[in-house]
Amino acid sequence: MRERYGARLYLFGSRARGTAHSESDYDIVAVAHAFEGERKIERALDRFELWVEAGGWAIGLDLHCYTPDEFRRESAGLGFIGQSKRRGELIRILTSRRAA
């Protein structure tokens, strides 16, 4: 996601809370300007392709893709992103030295 779209990545859910068990999935939010102008179906197809490439079926990956504006709105709202952020459970993933 970072290489293809320049996305900021965030972990949330049980893995971010530290309550995951052996069969818990990885809940990831990807935020990128590259998603702007894409219809939801295009974004979903890209997401599925990336999910397959990442071995999502094997590791239990749940990937949510947002534009920066969508992410800001969701962060302020009552949905899972806003709730995770308010609880301190939306953790930025740094995948390279450059990202730090």
pLDDT at 72: 95
The average pLDDT across 56-79 equals: 87
CATH superfamily of 2-93: Beta Polymerase, domain 2 (3.30.460.10)
Percent of the chain at pLDDT exceeding 90: 33
List the domain boundaries for the chain. Answer: 2-93
- DSSP-assigned states of every residue in the chain: -HHHH--EEEEESHHHHT---TTPPEEEEEE-GGGTT--HHHHHHHHHHHHHHTTHHHHTEEEEEE-HHHHHHHHHSSSHHHHHHHTT--EEE--STTT-
| Residue 71 in this model has a pLDDT that exceeds 90 | yes
The reported pTM is 0.78
